[in-house]
Amino acid sequence: MKKTLQDVLNDIQDNLIGKELHGISGTASSFRISEIDYEKDYIVLDVQGKRRTWSFERLERVWKEMYYRPAANVEIVFGGSGSSRNQVETIYANLGYIEWLYVNGKKNIAYVGEDTHTYGTLKHMDEEKEIEYQKMMEEPEPHNPLLSPDEIMGITGGNTIRFYTGYTSGYEKNRILFGAPGTGKSYTLNKEKDILLGGDNTRNYERVTFHPDYSYANFVGTYKPVPDKDEDGHNVITYKYVPGPFMRIYVKAVLSGRTENVKPYLLIIEEINRANVAAVFGDIFQLLDMDEKGS
């Protein structure tokens, strides 16, 4: 039977309290779990004599990632640095049914169902099994092999990725409108946008104006520092991916393409000649003229 977060907390209570736990990184400080506080919904750690807490909510975020996917990189789940992930990663890795492995050179942890090692110890996944999990993580929609068909349908919606959706339009996929100021370029764009999307559609398009300082980070997206607070209420800086207009409209189009009611999405770029176009588009430049077969 697959475990719930409550089962995990029970296993921590029964098998890890008071034990010295070591992390898979090999450089992080060891610690002990002092107690599970169900009134305040957090786990209390003793880290080299210092009290530290981790909320059930943060533990659940990692557990859900492991439950539904073949493996989880805790750093990615939390969107933070190694220091923010080590202790939660260590707690899970010391459970008998969690193994660690490499995925794209990064250490991950995986929920494998049955106990494969002693509680309070670590297990690097066997090589053959690790290769299988690495291949699963490369799939378009990776999911934990323990999931039932109904659970898989629940997280994918029964949708498959389709590179050719069958949608046709009366307009070319990529067009450039040019002319002297005042010749009606913006008017034409707005008129044809309304024809393509519908006059009351304000969600299925993005509009951006290029300028000399416009960059790939602005257009596609980048990681940016975001102020946050840790579990002890201290101010910290985390990094989160902030998508640009290209990525926002791209994701909407991909999600629409997985449904039976495929809709068009539009990206309007004004003053395109004012920016360094090669630098702004970067590696996505070569994708824009592909046909439905990807060539």
Nearest to 106 by CA among 27, 25, 223: 25
**Prediction pTM value:** 0.55
**Do residue 71 and residue 21 come from a single domain?**
yes
**Do residue 10 and residue 124 come from a single domain?**
yes
What's residue 82's pLDDT? 46
What's residue 158's pLDDT? 47
In a domain, 173, yes or no: no
Segments forming the whole domain that contains residue 90:
5-156
Q: Read off the pLDDT of residues 96-128 as tens digits, 9 standing for 90 and up.
A: 999 999 998 889 999 999 999 999 999 999 999
In a domain, 59, yes or no: yes
Residues 35 and 113 sit within 8 Å (Cβ to Cβ): no
The 3-state secondary structure of 43-110, one letter per residue: EEEEECCEEEEEEHHHHHHHHHHHHHCCCECHHHHHCCCHHHHHHHHHHHHCCCCEEEEEECCEEEEE
Residues 275 and 210 sit within 8 Å (Cβ to Cβ): yes
Whole-angstrom distance, CA of residue 145 vs CA of residue 142:
9
Q: What is the separation, in whole angstroms, between the first and last Cα of the chain? A: 46
- Cβ-Cβ contacts under 8 Å for 253 (sequence gap 6 or more): 265
**Do residue 69 and residue 143 come from a single domain?**
yes
CA 114 to chain centre: 27
Specify the 3-state DSSP secondary structure of 281: helix
Domains in the chain, number: 2
**Do residue 18 and residue 148 come from a single domain?**
yes
Residues in the chain with pLDDT < 50?
81-82, 158-160, 293-294
Q: Read off the pLDDT of residues 261-279 as tens digits, 9 standing for 90 and up.
A: 788 999 999 999 999 998 9
**Do residue 244 and residue 147 come from a single domain?**
no
Residues 227 and 235 sit within 8 Å (Cβ to Cβ): yes
In a domain, 267, yes or no: yes
In a domain, 28, yes or no: yes
Place of tokens 């590696």: 283
* Cα angle 90-95-100, degrees, rounded to a multiple of 5: 60
In a domain, 171, yes or no: no
